[in-house]
Structure 1
Amino acid sequence: MHYQTFIYSIAVLDGTHLALGTGKGVFLYNYREDRYEVFPTGGPSDVRSLLLVGDQLSQ
């Protein structure tokens, strides 16, 4: 994937993934394998904040 966008927020999901709130939606970053992965659900296209409550991510 090649995206040029701003990262506005970051949430640590587990021992492998970061959720990145960007100007183009939410991206998952697997920092152990240094790659981006598909976020499992749709959402808004411009995400400025993320909230992790337990294991649930809110945008």
Structure 2
Amino acid sequence: MVPTALPLKVQGKCDEFVSTFIENCAFDLSQKLLHDGIWKETNTELSYVAKRILNTLQK
């Protein structure tokens, strides 16, 4: 069963999201795309990820 229309509160939230999406993302996205060149993961985590990637080549 599919409703014929969204409840007004849901529709209002969707409209609010769309109208503020570009404004909110313009600043946040540019900040999120910056990288300081330092690995965020520990050496142990990096080693584990590398091992898992290389193991996929053996199968």
Provide the TM-score with structure 2 as the length reference. Answer: 0.15
Provide the TM-score with structure 1 as the length reference. Answer: 0.15
Q: Pick the structure with more helix per residue.
A: 2
Q: Pick the structure with more strand per residue.
A: 1
